[in-house]
Structure 1
């Protein structure tokens, strides 16, 4: 295909990672099974995606163990990466032990960098503490032979004077790659270029962009990050994911083909990939991004429901939408308490949650919202 005058084939094209089996699997109410994980992972590799992100590990007995194992069996651990939560040193050590037990070789540390997220998740907005925690986690992981990507969770809203020293400290500690997570869609493409330019100026840096699509600019921001020197782009099949979705893989790969003449990827698998992922996610035949969809402000993590301002670009009410809980088997007493609201004190939360999880079954057959949990509580109390 000939390139038009405004197009040029660059010397360096971006590496692609896919977060469908991690970010989308933690989308409210979405739970992929091992079978779908294996099929999706194989097709991603056939397409030419270099790294498949799968599962989240926060400590022993990871709920995503089966998903991670199935992906490793399908494509090998050398093509897989798992997210490891970072909250304190002891928790990190336990999570890395679990990652090693599962045969993980590539880890991606999820570390909140904005003051708002650090205060909520680390208990302190201190940059000194943030840098010390990241340094410790990276050094422990490298000491155990892991390839380490460390993130800037809510990095797009993290000021330059806070973000750049954090990223520089991470690379100084031995990290292999940094991922800027546009956790809350916030930047325009021209702003993204400036932010990424500050990071690629750090000696020895290798930068990845992970954008969310609430404002419909995830692909544009990903390409802007690449223009500014980012070496990696993270996407998801069909763009499915939390908070308006992620950069959709098909649109990203076709954009690379048209704009840069990038023929490295086998695009013939994209439609089959989307069908498998969307059906496995329970989303039917199509996924719509943006702020007006039923899933745009749906959550299954207690912190997202109790502190929505930390996760939302704009409030749901502004566009006439509503905030909702959607969950299958990832039920917790905290989620149940939020759903029951004022009547939570009338129910034994631990007993009710255990009963509800058992009733859901291993297939997570029921997609629960607030009304569903409230009705189930009536059934529980009338036993």
Structure 2
């Protein structure tokens, strides 16, 4: 089993990828002590906006400043949308990865793909493997896809030398049984390593990850305190305990718990990631968790407003986040009047928001 901690990449959605240098150094030592195998230290991006901290670009110069323990492999993530929109895939990759793996601190490159981007992004695997990198592909929103679609994705992947084919529970809507089913669909055509990246909207991130292990999944994502977009992910401090037990190993949690106390827990208290009823509803209704994250951070939204917006997105569809959709949703329920979340609306097991 391979535990991949992606705190500095996924957690960056809360602090614009701005992690203090001394925190990163403590984090690396904590990951080594906790038997983590790979640390995904951030993004590699062709864009210049949206990132304030070094983990937004994870440049070679930045990586050279870090005391990375020899036991840890280093990963970075690239968005397939950037590769797909580039005039030349090869030129884009050459810009993102100017050094081959043997001269770079980067060992693993993961490409995050929506389903419609997957086949267009797959040739990047050839370029990266020729330069010595491990390559992973993270398929997003797979839990919302049919058996035919998932099996087709697995068949396309089988034609490439991918080190790990991940599926992400992007909406946090998946349960253990669906997790098992999706893995079965992947195995129809994909014989390589499978990875899982879970979200904790409904409090099932760790449960789904452990279920995936039982079904033969070997690459496991987690983040410290679950720090990640929306409600966050499976928590590294819990997953490493479970993996150590399965492997019959000891795990040293002292450095990890120390940095949680000094940095991550105070930041969590400030930023508010973690499951709550709003995120639970977003998972239940297939609504992108960024809608919730944005509303929770915006003082214009009261509890009534958020619940009204969730109901509107449930009806109209909210699987893809955009600020335009969020603004349109706010304008809709403002015109209709404030929403009221009523217990009387609990009909046939469905939670319905009454606008009036």
TM over 0.5, yes or no? yes
Provide, for residues 252-291 of structure 1, a one-character-per-residue CA deviation record: whole Å limited to 9, x for no partner.
2233455x364253233331132344168x3349966213
Counterparts of 2:261 and 2:152, CA distance in 1: 42
Unpaired segments of 5 or more residues in structure 1? 1-13, 123-129, 298-307, 325-333, 343-383
Indicate if the aligned counterparts of 1:107 and 1:148 stay in contact, CA closer than 8 A. yes
Deviant stretches of 4+, over 6 Å: 313-317
Indicate if the aligned counterparts of 2:33 and 2:253 stay in contact, CA closer than 8 A. no
TM-score (norm 1): 0.64
Structure 1 residue 60: deviation in Å?
6.4
Counterparts of 1:279 and 1:95, CA distance in 2: 37
- The corresponding residue for 1:227 is 214
Aligned alpha-carbon RMSD (Å) = 3.8
The aligned length equals: 290
- The corresponding residue for 1:242 is 229
Structure 1 residue 242: deviation in Å?
1.2
Indicate if the aligned counterparts of 2:138 and 2:166 stay in contact, CA closer than 8 A. yes
- The corresponding residue for 1:272 is 258
Pairwise mapping of residues 1-383 of structure 1 onto structure 2 (< 5 A)?
14-27=1-14, 31-59=18-46, 63=51, 66-67=54-55, 68=58, 70-71=62-63, 73-75=66-68, 79-87=73-81, 88=84, 90=86, 92-101=89-98, 103=104, 104-113=106-115, 118=116, 130-131=118-119, 133-257=120-244, 260=246, 262-278=248-264, 282-284=267-269, 289-292=274-277, 311-312=288-289, 320=304, 322=306
Counterparts of 1:148 and 1:64, CA distance in 2: 26
Unpaired segments of 5 or more residues in structure 2? 296-300, 310-321, 331-356
Change (3 A) 1:48 1:155: same
Counterparts of 2:188 and 2:16, CA distance in 1: 40
Provide, for residues 193-216 of structure 1, a one-character-per-residue CA deviation record: whole Å limited to 9, x for no partner.
121133245453101110000100
- The corresponding residue for 2:351 is none
Provide, for residues 49-102 of structure 1, a one-character-per-residue CA deviation record: whole Å limited to 9, x for no partner.
000012112316695783335455321697110001112163654542243237
Indicate if the aligned counterparts of 1:40 and 1:277 stay in contact, CA closer than 8 A. no
Change (3 A) 1:81 1:30: closer
TM-score (norm 2): 0.69
Indicate if the aligned counterparts of 1:183 and 1:211 stay in contact, CA closer than 8 A. yes
